[in-house]
Structure formats: C-alpha cells, structure tokens
Chains A and B, each alone.
Chain A
Amino acid sequence: MSIDTHISKIRYLFTLGVLLLSAVIVSGSFSFQGSGVLSAENLSREVSYYRYKAQFAGINQADENKDAVYTRSQSRTDVIPVLVYHGIVSKPDRFSMTSATFAEQMGALKKAGYHTISMENLEAFLSGKDTLPEKSFILTFDDGRKDSFYGADPVIHALDFTATMFTATGVSLPEKIEKKSTYYLNPQEIVRMHKTGRWDIESHAIQKEGGFITIDADGTKGNFLSNKMWLDDQGRLETNTEYEARVTKELYDSKTAIEKTLNKTVTAFSYPFGDFGQQSENLSNEYAEKVINKAVSDNYKVAFHQIWPVDHDFSQNHVGESPYLLKRIEPSPFWSGEELLGYINSGQPKKFPYSETFVNDQGWKNLWGELSVTENRLVTKAAPTTAGSVTFLDGTYNWKDYVVTSQIDWNSGSHVVLVARYQNADNYASCIISDDNARIEQIIDGTTTRLAEAKIDFVMPKQNVPLSFALRQNSAECFIGNKSLVKASGVSTKIANGGIAFKTWDSVRGIASVTVHSVSVNELTNKNTVASLLPQNEIVFTPLPTKPTKPTTKPTPEPKPPVIPVETVSEIALYSPNGAMRPYHVLNFRETSAWKNVWGTYSIEGPLLSVGATPNTTGGMTILKGTSTWGNYNFMARIESLSGTSFSLVARYTKNNNKESYASCSFMNYGNVSYVRLDQVTNDATMQIGSSIKLSRYFTSNWKDVPFSIRVIGNEVICTANGTDAIRATLSNLTTQGGIGVKTWSEAKGSSNVKIKEIEVTPLQ
C-alpha cells in the first residue's frame, strides 16, 4: 500500500472538516447578525459599555461630588434644552455622527453637570406642576434606527443618562413582519431597549411608505400628515372628514401599538420631517396645523419638532410655551463636546446684570441679513439681497424689566433698532432710530403698533453711540447716553418678558450695517431707577443746522447697490401678464445664445443641450439667461446621457461682485452606487449641505429619461430623483431670487459631459 492510499482517508476527513468549518462560519455569520442577544451588535454594545465606563470614570467620579452640592443648593431652571440625534454611524453625514463624537458630546455635558430628565418630568415642568433642577436636558433620537441604539446605548449607559427613541411604528412595530429590516429597530429590539430602563420608546407616527402619500393626480408625493391624500380610484382628494380621520387614526394607532407592546403610557410625539402642518402642499397651513394639533393633543402630552439650522428661535423651551411645539437642537456631527456645551450654555437663562464685549459667542443668533461676532464686536448687516438684518441673543427669553445699553457704530443704513422683550419674530418691542426721528413700536403676533414718536433735534452721532432701551412693566423709554429720546406706555402684557435684539434697515438692499462694541443689561427693580442705570458721561450734541426746510435736506445720494453689467437679455416670465402660470419648457434645444457658459463648455447638439468639461476642467456649467428674477420654482430636467460622475441642477443662481451664489442638487452616479448631494454656494464658497441615502439600485444603471429636479421655495431646497424627494434642507442665506443652470462633474479632467433633452421650470407659489 503506498502513501497515497493511506492519505486518501485523511483527504476525505480533511475535506469534511473544512466544509464543516466553512458551513459553521457562513451559517453562523448570518444567524448571529440582527436581533439575537448573542448578536455581534449586542455583544459589542456590552463591550463598548465597559470601554466608555472606563473612559468616563473621571467624569462620573466628579459628578458624584457635584450631586452632593447640588441637592443642597436646590437651584431650579426655567428652561429645558432638548437634543435630537438621528443616527450613530461609522461614517458621519448630515444626519449621523460617529459614536466617538457622540460620546465626546455627551461626556462634555456630563462633565459640565448636565443630566437627563424623563418625558414625565418634562410634562410636569411645562404644565407648571413641578420644577426642574438646573442643567436638566432631554436626549431624543428620531426614526428608530438600529445604529442609534447600538451606538448610543453604551454611552448613555456609561453616563447614567436616559434617552427617548421616537419610533415609526409602521417599520419597528408592524403588525406583521414581512422582511427583517437591517436599518430600523425590530420589535424584539424595541422590547429589549425598553427593558434596559434607559430608553423611553415614544411615537414617531406609523409612517407607512416612509411617511409619504400621493397628493395629486400626477402622483406627486407629499408629507403624509400635512396633506390630503389623492384617492386614485375615485379620482379625488380626501374630504376634510377623511383627512382628519386619517391623521387621528395615524396618531392614535401609533401610540397604541407602543402601549400594547410595552405596557407603558406613551406621552410624547415627534413630528415626522418636523412637519406640524407648516409644510403642507395641498392645504392651507392653518388648516393642516389645526388638524394635526388637534390629533396630537388628543393623544399626547408633549410633541417635538425639529429646528435646523437652529438659529431662528430661542433654542430651548420655556414654561408657558406650547407643549406641542417643543424645540429641539440637532447637534452637528462635526461639533466637539465643547462646542455643543457652548451652544447649550448660551441658550441657558442669562442672569442680571448682564454685560459682554463679544469675546466669546454668547448665543447671538442671526434671523435676517448677516451676522458676525468676532474681535470684540458684533456686526449685524444687510445681506446683498436683504433690506436689513436682525440678530437676537439666546437665553434672554425670561428677562422682564430691564435697561439694555449698547455702544454702537452706526455704519450705514437709514434705521438702527434696539429690540427688547423679544420672544420671537412676531412678538417684541422696538426702539427705532433714524437721523431725524425716534419711535417706539411693539409687534404683537406680527402686527405692528406705534406707541410713541419724537423728532430728533440734533445731529445723530454715528460713532460710539450709547443707546439704551428701558422697559418697566408696560412703559418703555429710549435713550442716547442719558438723554431720553422717546417714551411710551401701553406695552402689551403679551410681551411682559423677552430678550434683546438688534435690527438694521434701509430701503436699499445690502446697505444697512451696525457694529456693536458692548452691550450691558441691568434689571429694573423696585429699588432702582432707569436713570441710575444709564451711562453717566455727558454727550455733547450738535444741534441741527438751522433752516430745516425740507427740500434742502436732500441727503447725499443714496448708495446704490453695485450694478453689474448684465447682458441685455429680457427676463423670461414664468407668469403671463394676467397672473396665470406659464412654465418654461424646452424639448428641443436650438438657441445657443439662450445659455451662458460659466465653466467648462456647452453646446447645442441637435435637440440636445450638451454641457461638459474642457480638457482642462473637471466639469462644466452653463446657466439659462433671463432667469435671474425667478423666485420659487421647480426645475425639472431629463437627460439623454451622462458621462462622468455627476450632473447637477442649479437654482437661484446669482452673481454679485463677480461672485457666484446658488443651490445645487448633484446627482452622483458611481456605477453601483448613486445618491443625491445638496450643496450651497455662497459668494464662491461651496458648502456641502448633505447627501441623500443611496438611491434605489434599480435605477442606478440608466438615467435616460428619468426626471430629476430641484425645487426652491423660500429658503427650502428639495432635490428629487425619479419623482422621490431625495434630500431637502432649509438654507438660511439663500438668495430669494436667482436663475437656473446645469452642471456636470467628474474626477478626471476633460471627461464629464451631460446631454439634456428636456427641461421644465414650473413656478411655485
């Protein structure tokens, strides 16, 4: 018998062993993933917990000591910040951050003494039944993503925090599981989360079909809560009753699904897409808001929306505000722990006496125009497209009777406005100063009332002007130095409290500008007077030149906005003179001169518009002439072919001082993966706003004839691929008007080219 004969048995055994081994590896690797207790995710969650426990050992130690002091002092808070996260991933994007970043952000809060509170605490606080200790906050997650749980749980466990998961019950607690999701939490995981005691499962509606419904006969998709559904079989929209019933059922069923599974009371709701009715497309916002509010308040005690960017309102929630429109801060995936802490601290109540010289950002938020807080000064000024600017200070909502004094340089613009009792953009009191006039106005629910007015009989100083605005109960008075300019009474009780703001204005756009060097705020009490709080140094005023006859005081010619030589192209109108919509539609491109090259090259080839790179550029861009005054519109394009990585649809294209600004939706095609990216270009500076999730693979290969579009409404930009919204965002400093363009790009020079066969621009109201 030879060796070969002998080892043949070993060959069989070996082959058997290897096959067995690979069977174990393959079957094991598939059966351990997902939801089992012994899944890789779960084990690594446990391991990570100990890792973070060790990492946070120092913080937790310090925290224990802090607790002792804190219970003795019993200081309470009157605001509550709420954070919202979406996901914890290994590759950060607009919605999600890495667990390391999350841990850093949470660790910084813990270290600073912050602690989480429950929805029950919040509800009791908002309704005035209970108070909250200082440095309370609420941690929430939207959407019920798996990665949030597995990525965040070890961190909050290690820090002794609790969190709320807003779950779309249609995907996470479905009546029947059709296919195990690899993205959303499944019922087993929901139960497991609940049992940890760290996670509060609350409602994010049911959200069948991802929260979208058909809203018109064309099959347009819209948010499911704020729109009436198109009933295709009956060829009509829902009736009011049907719509109301559907919304109510959605909110009720979602709540009961969670309550039934977990045997708990659901108190909180998070508006999908942050849409509480204000984003309605086929209803009046008021009606949609009313219906949604009714359904939400019937079923829940608190409801959250989402504000991003967060700069339009006070960032934290106060007693007395609606519990159904609670604001949440969405920490950026690129914020360090210190940055998040700074942001939250700046929104915490500021105490009297308050003064600052703009060394650090204390929470000045830009509402309108442009703002910069650097080098010991605050500059608020009109953007090229706005008549003025507004900035307010976060954390001042609860201020009542006070004198605000600021040292300003009145750089330009016809009016400078000192605002007090600022509650939101629709409710505040203002002291408005122009060269010849000072007046006090109040804005209540958006309606302006003039309370008092006085002439100014001296030459208004422009440098280092000490302006003060005093409010005590219902009286208001405006000062320059210690000289009273105008005085009023009758300030509404509606604005009995509120913070401070600065505003500039001019009838010409892009002109107004004010520099603030310092601001100080002192409380008015029973023991002091306004006069004692004003700056005491005398200012010598120059009287106005005599002969105040009107025609002579023609001011120096107003600086005009810079005029850019524009080719004489008549504007393309999107509306006919009688106001009817007149969409701009091209199916057969013929006129080369209708387009203008900005980058790369373009040409008209037969019926197609070809935009592409030159040998020296990575891409090309062309814009349609005569579109610069277009405001709100939907720009749709179909392509014949694309070579290169991406093509983009550009909207709101403007060119000022030779600098471009626009928004663009880039449709990226990497062969096996495609997605949509939203960018904003402001004065030549490109900022990537975000990327969509991967587009369906069925439509990756061939984009021919597929409709792509960019939609701009007000500040909102929506990118749509094949009829589905891929990504949307609100861009704070997007110009209100601007034209369209087409762009293409590839990594390699000279290779990108897109051939457009059809474009259509539909105006939107």
Chain B
Amino acid sequence: MTIKSLRRKIHTNLWRFTTSEIFYYTALSVIGLLLLFLIVLTKSKTAASIDTEPMLLVYTILVTTFELSRLIAAMFYSNTVHIHKMHPDLKAQTHNYEPLVSFVVPCYNEGPAIEKTITKCFDADYPKEKLEVIVINDGSTDNTREVLYRLQKTKFPELVIIDFKKNQGKRHGMAEGFAAAKGEIVVQLDSDSYIVPETFRELIEPFRNPEIGAVCAHADPENADKNFLTKMQAAYYFLSFRVLKAAESSFFTVFCCSGCSSAYRKSVVMPIMQTWLHEKFLGLPVTWGDDRALTNWVLRRNFKTMYTDKATAFTICPENLRQLMKQQVRWKKGWFVNSLNASKFIYKKNPFVAFTYFFPLIFVTLSTPFMATKALIVNPLFYGTSPLFYVLGVFLVSSLIVTFYRAVSRENKYWPYVFAWSAINMVLLSFVLFYALFTIQNRKWGTR
C-alpha cells in the first residue's frame, strides 16, 4: 500500500465520522490515556515498596496487564467478522446460506414466559420451511404443559413438544432436543430468552465457514430497567459479551457460548452428546455450566467458536440479590469445573490462547479473593494500612474499561453501573467463588 493510498484511505475514513463523533472519540482516547497514566501512577506506589514486598509488585503488574490485555484483544474483534467470510471454500459461494435450523428450548415451570419465547422463534427472519422449534417440557409442575399444547393447537401446529413426565434436568432436555432436531444448525435457547427475529440470520451466517462449530449471540437483559440490580447486570452483560467474549472471539476461542442464545453445528456436537450428558465431577453428575461444557467439547474437537454482536438476544436477569447470588454461585461452579476440564486439553489444542489468556485467567480469578481479603480486611485491621490504593486501582481499571465500553457503544446507557458492579464484585462476588467451591457437591439445579 502506498503512502498516497493510505492517506486517501484515512481521508475517506475520517469523512465517515461526524464532527461530534470525532470529538467524542478523541475525548475518549484522551481519557483512556489519562487513565492508563493514573493506573501506572498507582502501580508506582507499589513499586516504591519493592524492597519489602517484591511479590506484590509482580502480582499487581501481572493482574493489571492481564485485565488490560482483554481490552487489547477486544480491539481486534472487528476482524472476526471478516475472517470467517474469507475461507477459500466460500469464495465461490455467493448464494444465500440458509441451512435447516432447529431451535431447542428446554423449559421447566415457565408457564408465563414460554409463549413469548416460542412466538419469537417462529417470527425469526428466516424461511419458515427451514425452521423447526422443539420445546422440551422437563416435567413442569405448573401450567407449562397446557400452554405448550394450546400453542401447538391454536398458533403453531409445527411446534414439536417433547414432554418429560418427570424432571430430569436441563442437560437431559437439551440432549433429547438435539437428538430430535433435524436441522444442520441447532439454536439452543433458554426458556426465558429470545433472539430478536430481525437479527436471527446473523447468528446462522458464520456457519458458512465449516471451521466454525458454535456461535454465541449478544445477550442483554430484557428487564434491565427494573431496578438498580438489573441495571448493574445490564452493564455487566454488555461488558462480558461485547468486551470479554469479543476478546475471546478475536482468537475464535469463546469458552462459553451462553445458554441463553447460542447456535451449534449439529454434526459437531452429536458425537459427544452422550459423553457430555453423563459428565461427572467428583463422582456426581454436573448440573450447572451445561453451556460452558458443551462449548468446551466444540473446542476440544478442534472447531472454532465465536461471538457475534450482530445477533441480539434478550433474557431475564435476577431481580433481587438472593437470586443473583444463587445464579452467581451456579456460574462460578460451572466456571470452575469446566475450567478444570478445559485445562486438560487447551494447552495442546490452542497453546497461544491457553498461555496468554486461559491460565492467567484462572490464576487471577483464584487469587483475587485472597488479595481482596488482604487489602480490604487484613491490612486495614491488623496493620492499619489504608485500602485506598487498592480501591483506587480497581476504580481506575474499571474506568478504563468503561472508556472502552463507551467507545464500542455510544448508545448503551448502563455504563455508569460498571462501577457499581465492580464495587460489588470487589466486596462480594469474588468471595462467592469460595462459597461455590465449598458447596460444589451440592448438585441441585438451583435455577432461579
């Protein structure tokens, strides 16, 4: 590329922005650099005590670098979108890619929500004859069953209902649904979630590339504006999808294609369905982290997984602290067990991701509660050391993440809640991991 053409490119690209946008992004960049500077300053405070606490410095630099490396990775996310199209086999394929798609929706006591979910499935912007919706009633004790049969009778005669007499657990429901699915692509949906029909095609599109095994849609809480807690979660969802999953997606290694809205290539998951269904941990069946476990298998089979921000799903998030804690405990358990499983193969299958992301993540997640305890409780209590710099460090990193958040989505209004989330995370959620590990032998499904 010549300098001239580069200049032209920059010129044309600049014209794509309005004045307000140029100002906005410049301001964000300045803020970002300023924050980075302040972060370095707080680190210099730790560096000053290198004589007495050298390990603390190494630790804090490692953690900060790791956290910010996620932002760097997320910056490469936009490339994902192009790369999957560049598969040589696809060059000639200009026709519409419209494989047969099956929705698999396991549900348990979802009487009130299930109708909307099913309606949205049938509303998808996709040829009707290429859509199949399978609902698994997992022995619900409420009116779910009645609702399903009424829908089949009145609105959607094509609806496939698999009716368990007794509750068997989500995994069984999913397995049954996958087995019954005729589609080449299976979209797994939680019973309280739906994919925005207009964006449905975008979820299927990446499967054009035969290397792709699973695709995760972007999810936002539908009840985001309910209260402070849900707003906070809205911010957290946005972060974990648009930043963290996007960062994973830059290397086509998304470790968890969320249960609330992900599509799988059936030919990839079917061979391991039974193994997945009967997975055990410490002798007991695993009742959480089904989505993470399934994604693990896709990766293990050498297929790529990705996240697309073009397909959007909505789900319902917990509205009170107790439910949120329960959900968090389940997620942490799922994270722990599946991370253990993944650590057995990931360093062979994808050493780059394993050592730049996966193992550092495990280290940071497991050590954070200890460091938080030390900085927030032990030091102030026993040594009278102020936790100010620890809190300041967390706040600054959160701010930098928020800056990034604002850069990727100017519209998303929940960004101030990132601070609330990181505050709660600091004092509460990082400790939830301990609770989760203590109660890891409790295998009740425990959803909501």
Q: Does A28 belong to the interface (CB within 8 Å)?
A: yes
- CB neighbours (8 Å) of A34 from chain B are 48
Closest 6 CB pairs of A and B: A28-B40, A29-B43, A32-B44, A29-B47, A29-B44, A17-B72
Is the CB–CB distance between A40 and B83 below 8 Å?
no
Q: 28 A-B Cβ contacts within 8 A?
A: A1-B86, A3-B84, A3-B211, A3-B252, A6-B79, A7-B83, A7-B252, A11-B251, A14-B72, A14-B250, A17-B72, A17-B75, A18-B356, A25-B43, A25-B64, A26-B61, A28-B41, A29-B44, A29-B46, A29-B57, A30-B44, A32-B44, A33-B44, A33-B48, A40-B44, A43-B41, A182-B48, A673-B52
Given contacts A1-B86, A24-B36, contact A90 B64 (CB under 8 A): no
Q: Does A92 belong to the interface (CB within 8 Å)?
A: yes
- CB neighbours (8 Å) of A40 from chain B are 41-42, 44-45, 48
A contacts with B: majority SS: helix
- CB neighbours (8 Å) of B250 from chain A are 7, 10, 14
Given contacts A6-B83, A17-B72, A25-B65, contact A1 B88 (CB under 8 A): yes
Q: Does A21 belong to the interface (CB within 8 Å)?
A: yes
Residues of A in contact with B (beta carbons under 8 Å apart): 1-3, 6-7, 10-11, 13-15, 17-18, 21-22, 24-26, 28-34, 38-40, 43, 90-92, 98, 182, 673
Task: Please tell me which stretch of B137-145, B259-267, B381-389, B420-428 contacts chain A, meaning at least 4 of its Cβ atoms lie within 8 angstroms of it.
Answer: B381-389
Is the CB–CB distance between B72 and A22 below 8 Å?
no
- CB neighbours (8 Å) of A39 from chain B are 41, 44
Q: Does B345 belong to the interface (CB within 8 Å)?
A: no
- CB neighbours (8 Å) of A24 from chain B are 36, 40
Candidates B41, B52, B65; contact of A22 at CB < 8 Å = B65
**Bound Cα distance A40, B250 (Å):** 35
- CB neighbours (8 Å) of A28 from chain B are 37, 40-41, 43-44
Is the CB–CB distance between B384 and A21 below 8 Å?
no
- CB neighbours (8 Å) of B76 from chain A are 10, 13-14
Q: Does B146 belong to the interface (CB within 8 Å)?
A: no
**How close is A39's CB to chain B, nearest CB, in angstroms?**
7
The residue in A31, A40, A673 that gathers the most chain B C-beta atoms within 10 A of its C-beta is A40
Q: Does B239 belong to the interface (CB within 8 Å)?
A: no
**Bound Cα distance A40, B79 (Å):** 38
Of chain B, the residue at the smallest CB distance from A100 is: B386
- A-B contact sample (20 more), CB < 8 A, given A3-B87, A90-B384, A91-B383: A1-B86, A3-B83, A3-B209, A3-B252, A3-B304, A7-B83, A7-B250, A21-B69, A21-B72, A24-B36, A24-B40, A25-B61, A25-B64, A28-B40, A32-B41, A33-B44, A33-B47, A40-B41, A90-B385, A98-B384
Q: Does B31 belong to the interface (CB within 8 Å)?
A: no
**Bound Cα distance A722, B42 (Å):** 38
Q: Does B51 belong to the interface (CB within 8 Å)?
A: yes
- Name the interface residues of B419-437: CB closer than 8 Å to any CB of A: none
**Bound Cα distance A28, B384 (Å):** 28
Residues of B in contact with A (beta carbons under 8 Å apart): 36-37, 39-48, 51-52, 57, 61, 64-65, 68-69, 72-73, 75-76, 79, 83-84, 86-88, 209, 211, 250-252, 304, 352, 356, 383-386
Of chain B, the residue at the smallest CB distance from A23 is: B65
- CB neighbours (8 Å) of A14 from chain B are 69, 72-73, 76, 250-251, 356
**How close is A219's CB to chain B, nearest CB, in angstroms?**
28
- CB neighbours (8 Å) of B65 from chain A are 18, 21-22, 25
**Bound Cα distance A17, B71 (Å):** 10
Is the CB–CB distance between B40 and A29 below 8 Å?
yes
- CB neighbours (8 Å) of B51 from chain A are 182
Given contacts A25-B40, A25-B43, A29-B43, contact A1 B48 (CB under 8 A): no
**How close is B345's CB to chain A, nearest CB, in angstroms?**
17
Of chain B, the residue at the smallest CB distance from A34 is: B48
**How close is B336's CB to chain A, nearest CB, in angstroms?**
26
Candidates A11, A25, A91, A182; contact of B352 at CB < 8 Å = A11
**How close is B376's CB to chain A, nearest CB, in angstroms?**
15
**How close is A287's CB to chain B, nearest CB, in angstroms?**
42
**Bound Cα distance A18, B88 (Å):** 31
**Bound Cα distance A21, B63 (Å):** 12
**Bound Cα distance A226, B36 (Å):** 53
**Bound Cα distance A390, B59 (Å):** 58
Of chain A, the residue at the smallest CB distance from B75 is: A17
**Bound Cα distance A90, B252 (Å):** 47
**How close is B301's CB to chain A, nearest CB, in angstroms?**
15
Of chain B, the residue at the smallest CB distance from A24 is: B40
Given contacts A7-B250, A24-B36, A28-B40, contact A91 B47 (CB under 8 A): no
